[in-house]
């Protein structure tokens, strides 16, 4: 199995913090985001790791992983960045570069026999309430039935439309990634450039692809802006935070 970390964007919502480095090098809990991801991925037993960079990609060079490039990072979205990593003969774990999680969440994905699988957090609301005055401000619809995704990625004013929240951690088999690539390449250049991951997942569902769901309970977070960073560092200091990803594992 290989892991692909999508780290091409600048992360402009971080403000001046990304003037000279991409968001994945932002420090939280004493380490850059990408180092936390590397730790979780290797603890889960995956050593073949590719980081897809773009903005200030020279700052991402490391002997810990391979570095691929999305040369069009300024005009493309997550899906385009994924396919810059190339094909692979086995399963591919895909991680956004601005999320934090333990190895246990990766193992939950790895345990699913599926061409496409994603993680989602059942305890998302407590995290969103820490980040937003209105938890529905940024949350999106998410529903599953018998472990299969049925709805994702739409805006809603009804909390009952959100069973869990998609995290940005996925798994594709070789066939699943090929199917996703066929969907992606079947779009016009303009639509390909704008395609985000949840939109890609919806297109795959429309193609009758079954997307399995690994439901987790907390122990993850996403760093979208400076307010998130400040909030999380404060909660870490207080202790006993249900979304603290820092779990000691053997």
So what's the pLDDT on residue 250?
43
What domain range includes position 114? 2-121+167-202+212-238
So what's the pLDDT on residue 66?
97
Question: CA 125 to CA 140: how far, in whole Å?
Answer: 11
3-state secondary structure of 56: strand
Residue 138 lies in a domain: no
Residue 19 lies in a domain: yes
Percentage of the residues of the chain whose pLDDT score is greater than 70: 99
Residue 44 lies in a domain: yes
Rg (CA), the chain: 17
Q: What is the pLDDT of residues 10-24, one digit of tens each?
A: 988 888 888 999 999
3-state secondary structure of 73: coil
The answer to whether residues 88 and 95 touch, using CB atoms and an 8 Å cutoff, is no
Residue 78 lies in a domain: yes
Residue 180 lies in a domain: yes
Helices (H) and strands (E) in the chain, counts: 8, 13
Residue 247 lies in a domain: no
Residue 86 lies in a domain: yes
- Strand locations in the chain (E): 2-7, 27-28, 31-32, 48-53, 66-69, 92-96, 99-100, 116-121, 142-145, 148-152, 165-172, 211-216, 221-222
Q: What is the pLDDT of residues 121-158, one digit of tens each?
A: 999 999 999 999 999 988 999 999 999 999 999 999 99
Domain count within the chain: 1
Percentage of the residues of the chain whose pLDDT score is greater than 90: 93
In 10 A of CB 113, how many CB atoms?
A: 7
Residue 135 lies in a domain: no
Whichever domain contains 226, its CATH number is 3.90.550.10
So what's the pLDDT on residue 249?
54
Q: What is the dihedral of CA 178, 67, 46, 101, to 10 degrees?
A: -90
């Amino acid at each position: 199995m290989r892991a692909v970390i999508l780290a091409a964007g600048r992360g402009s919502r971080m403000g001046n913090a990304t003037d000279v480095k991409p968001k994945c090098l932002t420090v939280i809990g004493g380490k850059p985001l990408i180092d936390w991801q590397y730790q979780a991925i290797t603890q889960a037993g995956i050593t073949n790791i590719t980081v897809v960079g773009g903005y200030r990609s020279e700052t991402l060079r490391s002997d810990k992983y391979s570095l691929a490039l999305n040369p069009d990072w300024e005009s493309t979205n997550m899906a385009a960045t994924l396919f810059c990593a190339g094909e692979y003969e086995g399963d591919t774990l895909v991680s956004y570069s601005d999320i934090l999680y333990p190895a246990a969440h990766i193992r939950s994905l790895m345990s699913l026999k599926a061409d496409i699988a994603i993680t989602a957090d059942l305890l998302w609301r407590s995290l969103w309430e820490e980040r937003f005055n209105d938890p529905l401000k940024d949350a999106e619809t998410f529903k599953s039935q018998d472990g299969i995704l049925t709805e994702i990625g739409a805006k809603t004013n009804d909390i009952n439309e959100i069973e869990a929240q998609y995290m940005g951690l996925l798994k594709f088999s070789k066939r699943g990634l090929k199917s996703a690539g066929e969907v992606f390449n079947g779009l016009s250049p303009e639509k390909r450039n704008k395609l985000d991951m949840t939109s890609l997942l919806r297109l795959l569902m429309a193609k009758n692809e079954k997307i399995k769901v690994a439901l987790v309970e907390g122990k993850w977070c996403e760093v979208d802006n400076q307010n998130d960073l400040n909030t999380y560092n404060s909660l870490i200091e207080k202790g006993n935070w249900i979304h603290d990803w820092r779990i000691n594992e053997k």
